[in-house]
Structure 1
Amino acid sequence: MTCCAYFKDGRCVESMEDHIREGLKFIERMYISRNYGEFLSRVLNLRKEKAEGLLRKAYIIHDVGKGLEEFQSKKQHFPYHEFYSALVAKEVLKDFGKAGEIAVVAVSLHHHDWVRYEKPRKPDNLELDRECACVIEKFMGVEIPRKVPWIKPEEFSRWVVNVFSSNIRAVYALLLPISLADNYSAMRNRGGEPTTPGKEIEEVLSVYKEVEKFVSSISSGI
Structure 2
Amino acid sequence: MSKKLDIDESGLQIRWKTREHYSDFFEPDFFSSKAEEKRSHKAYYDNSYVIVSCTEKIKEDVALLEYREQPKDIYEGDLLIYFTTSERDEVSRVDWRSLDGKTYEDQATSNWDTSPESKEGQERIREVKYVNRNQALVKKRKTKDKNNCQACNYQLEIKGMHIIDVHHINPLARKSGERITNLDDLICLCPNCHRIAHTSNPPLTVSQVKSLLAG
TM-score tier by shorter-chain length is under 0.3
TM-score by length of 2: 0.26
Which structure is higher in strand share? 2
TM-score by length of 1: 0.26
Which structure is higher in helix share? 1
